[in-house]
Amino acid sequence: MTSQKKYISWIAQIIAAVILFQTLFFKFSGATESVHLFTKLGVEPFGRYGAGIVELITVVLLLTPRKAWLGAFLGIGVMSGAILAHLTVLGIESDGDGGYLFILALITLLCCSVVAYIRKGDFFAFFYTLI
């Protein structure tokens, strides 16, 4: 991996990790907004706690150099679910947020996709070692 790709990957990893990390407080503290969203989805409180745990694991993996590829794939999955929830149940604008949560999900999905693409060699190397 060239140094330019390495920097781009780290920038994307940090952006995704910061966005995911800052939402953890709302999920784990039982903030009204978070409870309302997961109630609308019909998965409160277990869905909120489950999503928070998966997002915390994603943050740790994204910030672990040899496992960033795994964090990126996990982040793609989590954010795909969040975007799907916004498009089908929650709406792009949720509770008057102007689409803020939806936009954050899109940015995180984009960043995780960039990391997954740049670090695809780590992904293939991992599976090669299993053979």
What residue spans define the domains of the chain? 3-130
Residues 121-126: what's their mean pLDDT?
A: 84
pLDDT above 90: residue 56: yes
Q: What pLDDT does residue 42 have?
A: 96
Question: Under a CB-based contact definition with an 8 Å cutoff, are residues 5 and 118 in contact?
Answer: yes
Q: What pLDDT does residue 127 have?
A: 76
- Residue 53: what residue type? I
Question: Under a CB-based contact definition with an 8 Å cutoff, are residues 73 and 113 in contact?
Answer: no
Residues 80-103: what's their mean pLDDT?
A: 94
Q: What pLDDT does residue 130 have?
A: 77
d(CA 44, CA 56): 18
What pTM value is reported for the model? Answer: 0.93
